[in-house]
Structure 1
């Protein structure tokens, strides 16, 4: 199945906006809940994603961000 390159170009601005919302939610959660227990971080992250209207993140991705924020307190890069 071939994809029209113009469809990709049309979609990218929306993808960039959505990813910025996710990044804001993760940054806000990291700043407010870094190093706290996983369950607390996870709930805060879910709420932050909802507040950003970015709740359609794959659950495993949310779990990984939450675990990293909880474990390190300051980094979701590793």
Structure 2
């Protein structure tokens, strides 16, 4: 019985971690995409570039959030 409950708990823990990771990555992606479109006045990324550079856009969103938190920490 313990094997079944442990495997079910492990499965739900895995699903929860994957959902959280994908949700966070999606949030950083859209932050990066919107800010890049704002900075480039809508020229980057277009649909093809958004598909090709998904990881770069997500990294830019993450960097932007880190920079914003750092700036807020300095100001407070």
TM-score by length of 2: 0.42
Structure number with higher helix proportion: 2
TM-score by length of 1: 0.41
